Structure 1
């Protein structure tokens, strides 16, 4: 207690070196690093896990804990144990379409999602679109993604692929993030319409989003949700920390092409049946219970449009208002 009191009273100039030393000691072992055309990438081993990290160049690298900012994670003891809770929420898609066969994923990361889907569901075919070829190389070499005839990787922009492909999908997974930003052109009303056009009749879009459901950091989530609602018939929101709506957290959004009209009891019952017969991810029924039915402020939210692109084409996850990033002329 005495040491804690002394630490609290120390001037900040004395604390800063201690934080730097602590950050350096806790950064883990850097297995690989490279600055690609899109991001500064590190592969880090720490406490039994391997992390894929896109570092934020505006912050000292050793102060960015891999367990706080990772793009993907994998157990070093079991390469199919991703240890990525949000990735398991994508399996809730079977509740809304039990006949999924063709899947398109935008954003590969460390391949946490396709590795498990391909293992658990032998009937599916998976197409992953990744803009950074270095990320693809890392997924194969450091995260042990296997070559599989049911998995095709396309190096390119996800939106361009959706626009040009002639092969429809039952499920589109959108998981495209950098350290603190999302690509604007992948979250616009126009792109959501393009996705809907490529979905089969019972198809759906699933989005992994990092944000808050309410409070000062919720405006971007509200804008994404409002933009989705202009295109899709029905939307379901699942939040990893739904009882703390003001907290930044993983939010998984399912947008269904056709009306589902499933309530909480039906969703949980369907999850129980899937857990018994099909889905093996841990805590699947708990994740179904994370359906968020609380209020979301949409009245002040702005639609995300192609015509209003922020400088650099990226939206900061921590900006409270889209409009702060948009030039007054409306030009990108």
Structure 2
């Protein structure tokens, strides 16, 4: 019998404070009411989507639905440093549509294709103000592991932001799927993956991406969570070019804080010449950044304060 994967919340949150216990009981009651299906909670101007009581999938402000509330989603928009004017984005994992809404509003010349396996998540798109399908936006109910290999059209950007109730989806985080991502990107294309886990889990994943994307791999931890954002680009891009791009884009996408991103990259040094060196370098990096962080909220109450600040 295979060992069950750890859920996202169990990776870093151990002892729950009293108010968190009360909050979880409320969430459990809502989950029971919805018979275990995804549900949403409105609280103090916020709307959150939950896959389970222990797994918040998405969050938004009701009066600013296009705002990227969580830092990890703002960092994922760092693909603009590589390509400020994409024509086609594929997003794997719709959730509450935070990235879809931002791209739809701020990139008017871009077409967006969102793939979501969970029909119950898609059914909540109106509650999260995801625009209806049109010539620029298409939401497809499908398993991306089956859908992507059948595609022949290449995209400029692929967002990989897919979770189930147990965490990262193995079918979407392996060498074969990364090869399909690579094939379905233009020559200047970039894959941005939002991942979460322990260094021992993430190291093999990063090594596979490092190999598939010919060493053009960068990563950094989110400012307010333990999400690791990974950028895998097909084209070689220098640090000076990224910094110059950030300064140019800062006024256009001021809320993203793009000028911060190039200062915090983690990469494999050129001295890593074989697989063992690469794995060791990745593990060393992850051990240094996926450590206890006082800036990361440890409860729902702390998280709510941080996003309302």
| TM bracket (short chain) | 0.7 to 0.9
The separation in 2 between residues aligned to 1:189 and 1:99, in whole angstroms, is 28
**1:274, CA displacement in angstroms?**
0.9
TM-score relative to the length of structure 1: 0.69
**1:281, CA displacement in angstroms?**
2.9
Equivalent residue in structure 2 for 1:221, among 196, 202, 206: 202
**Counterpart residue number, 1:43:** 40
Equivalent residue in structure 2 for 1:209, among 165, 170, 195: 195
Q: Which has the higher contact order (CA 8 A, sep 6+)?
A: 2
**1:98, CA displacement in angstroms?**
3.1
Equivalent residue in structure 2 for 1:230, among 211, 235, 248: 211
Q: 1:19 to 1:280 in 2, by over 3 A?
A: closer
The separation in 1 between residues aligned to 2:210 and 2:20, in whole angstroms, is 45
Equivalent residue in structure 1 for 2:51, among 50, 54, 63: 54
Q: Is contact 1:28–1:46 with CA below 8 Å preserved after alignment?
A: no
Q: 1:206 to 1:24 in 2, by over 3 A?
A: same
**Counterpart residue number, 1:24:** 22
Query: Runs in 1 of length 4+ with deviation above 4 angstroms?
Result: 18-22, 25-33, 293-296
The separation in 2 between residues aligned to 1:181 and 1:240, in whole angstroms, is 17
Q: 1:241 to 1:144 in 2, by over 3 A?
A: closer
**Counterpart residue number, 1:284:** 258
* Larger proportion of helix: 2
The separation in 2 between residues aligned to 1:287 and 1:71, in whole angstroms, is 24
The separation in 1 between residues aligned to 2:91 and 2:46, in whole angstroms, is 24
**1:291, CA displacement in angstroms?**
1.8
Consecutive unaligned residues in structure 1, runs of 5 or more: 1-15, 56-60, 212-216, 243-247, 303-332
Q: 1:27 to 1:118 in 2, by over 3 A?
A: farther
**Counterpart residue number, 1:258:** 235
Structure 1, residues 109-150: CA drift from partner, whole Å, max 9, x if none? 00011001000010100000000111001122x211121421
Give the total of aligned pairs.
258
The separation in 2 between residues aligned to 1:159 and 1:165, in whole angstroms, is 11
- What CA RMSD, in Å, does the superposition of the two structures yield over aligned residues? 3.0
TM-score relative to the length of structure 2: 0.74
Structure 1, residues 164-221: CA drift from partner, whole Å, max 9, x if none? 122211111100012442111111111111111111111111101113xxxxx20111
1:34 aligns with 2:34: yes
Consecutive unaligned residues in structure 2, runs of 5 or more: 1-14, 281-309
Larger radius of gyration: 1
1:239 aligns with 2:239: no
SS at match of 2:255: coil
Q: Is contact 2:87–2:110 with CA below 8 Å preserved after alignment?
A: yes
Q: Is contact 1:92–1:288 with CA below 8 Å preserved after alignment?
A: no
The separation in 2 between residues aligned to 1:270 and 1:21, in whole angstroms, is 44
SS at match of 2:212: coil
The separation in 1 between residues aligned to 2:60 and 2:19, in whole angstroms, is 26
The separation in 1 between residues aligned to 2:189 and 2:41, in whole angstroms, is 36
**Counterpart residue number, 2:175:** 189
Q: 1:275 to 1:241 in 2, by over 3 A?
A: closer
The separation in 1 between residues aligned to 2:265 and 2:20, in whole angstroms, is 38
